Amino acid sequence: MVQPRFVRPAQSSPSSDAVEPNSSNLYVANCGPAVGLSHDAIAAVFSDFGEVKGVYAADESGVRVIVSFADPFSAKSALEALSGRPCPDLKGRSLHIRYSVLQLASETQVNDCVPVSLVDTELNIPGLFLIPEFVSVEEEQQLLAAVDARPWIGLAKRRVQHYGYEFCYGTRNVDTKKRLGELPSFVSPILERISLFPNLDNDQSSLDLDQLTVNEYPSGVGLSPHIDTHSAFEDCIFSLSLAGPCIMEFRKYSVSTWKASSADAEKLGDSSCIKKALYLPPRSMLLLSGEARYAWNHYIPHHKIDKVKDKVIRRSPRRVSFTIRKVRNHPCRCNYPQYCDSQQQR
Ligand SMILES: O=C(O)CCC(=O)C(=O)O
Ligand SMILES: [Fe+2]
């Protein structure tokens, strides 16, 4: 059987162990088989506070365990009653207890289900281009310093900044009437370089990019599969990777997914979809245009470790991306109506 993996929950402050984190699992130090206390003996003591689903070794030490309750209230009562006090039924040992959460298998798994390409041409997706080393190491540092000097907006798992127009995650669109202002001057060299981008047959006006979303992903955090809303943005979507690499997976579903929530799209999983994956190194620029932009979902798997051409690559502590787009002011008239919110029959 696969041993469940538990980790410390994300905390907002060092003292937040006192706050209920809604976890049913406790990390208990200073007891275990190495000091003559069996998992059954530990379970018996903790079951005074509620139903114990299991006791697991927290690590190889033999003196640290995870006690998993059926509900968070039992875990809270046990923590409050037993933590920091000698426990007569466990040989008088003082237990050090904190909350723990079950880590999703996907966060510890190696992403190796879809072979990962290193070059765009290998994917054979029309309109998809990857330019490695689009910015220098020095420029990368300057761009990171510029965004780190500005306020971040905290989402559930990552942080973002919006410039030009705010992207609204509820509607997956922008409010074209609410312009925030010009794009900041630190992106000007990037915009200039984009205008010289090879392989672009779009007219120059679609390159008047006016919206920037900066995403900061901690290691193991990804992005659910989605197609950027057709009616929100023009054809060309640029994404600059900084600070760390990631894998981007591309999925083409045979059914329309524009109305499905991104979580639903993720659940659609293997059913009737083609999957391809590309390694995005730091400092590279990705362009999604045409079929790649309109018909393929892009997705960053929620993994800490990726397998790229038989090499195991650990994601760095953060990846920062600059997604640069042009807001659309008229309905989309692309050639992919099944994926297009502007062209759906209502
Ligand atoms: O982080 C990235 O490279 C992609 C971000 C993205 O897909 C989006 O903001 O729509
Ligand atoms: Fe996107």
CB proximity list for 215: less than 8 A, separation 6 or greater? 158, 159, 160, 223, 320, 321, 323
Average pLDDT over residues 297-318: 88
**Residue 321, ligand 1, Cβ within 6 A:** yes
DSSP letter at 233 equals B
211 lines ligand 1 (CB under 6 A): no
C-alpha of residue 223 to centroid of ligand 1, in Å: 7
CA angle 235, 237, 241 (to 5 degrees): 170
In the structure, what pLDDT confidence band is assigned to residue 248 with cuts at 50, 70 and 90? very high
Ligand 1 pocket test: pick from 167, 211, 239, 242 the residue with the most ligand atoms within 8 Å of its Cβ: 239
Q: 323 CA distance to ligand 2 centroid (A)?
A: 8
- The yes-or-no verdict on residue 249 having pLDDT over 90 is yes
Is 158 close to ligand 1, i.e. is its CB under 6 Å away?
no
Q: For residue 174, list its beta bridge partners.
A: 167
The closest residue, in CA terms, to atom 7 on ligand 1 is 298
Q: Which residues of 298-331 are buried (b: 16+ CB within 10 A; e: fewer)?
A: bbbbbbbbbbbeeeebebeebbbbbbbbbbbeee
Q: What pLDDT shows up at residue 345?
A: 63
**Ligand 1 within 6 A of CB of 215:** yes
The number of C-alpha atoms within 13 Å of 225 and in the hemisphere containing its C-beta is 25
Q: Is the pTM of the predicted complex or chain greater than 0.80? A: no
Closest CA to 58 of 98, 111, 88: 98
Share of the chain above pLDDT 90, in %: 62
For the Cβ of 323 lying below 6 angstroms from any atom of ligand 1, the answer is: yes
Least confident of 164-168, 180-184, 296-300, 309-313: 309-313
pLDDT, tens only, 284-296: 999 999 999 999 9
Q: Which of 165, 169, 223, 327 has most ligand 1 atoms within 8 Å of its beta carbon, as the pocket-test mutant?
A: 223
Q: Would you state the structure tokens that stand for residue 14, as one six-digit string? A: 């060092």
Q: What is the largest CA-CA distance in the chain?
A: 78
Q: The tokens 């059954």 sit on which residue?
A: 40
Lowest mean pLDDT among 137-151, 162-176, 214-228, 267-281: 267-281
CB 278 within 8 A of CB 346: no
In degrees rounded to 5, what are phi and psi of residue 241?
Answer: -100, 130
Ligand 2 centroid distance, CA of 180 (Å): 20
Nearest CA to ligand 1 atom 10: 228
The ipTM, to two decimals, is 0.99
pLDDT of residue 195: 87
Rg over CA atoms, the chain? 24
> Given pLDDT bands bounded at 50, 70 and 90, which one contains residue 13?
very low
C-alpha triplet 319, 286, 339: angle, nearest 5°: 105
| CA-248 nearest atom, ligand 1 | 3
Closest-CA residue, ligand 1 atom 6, reads 323
Considering only CA atoms, which residue is closest to atom 9 of ligand 1?
Answer: 323
* Residue bearing the CA closest to ligand 1, atom 1: 321
Instruction: Pick the residue whose CA is nearest to atom 5 on ligand 1.
Output: 323
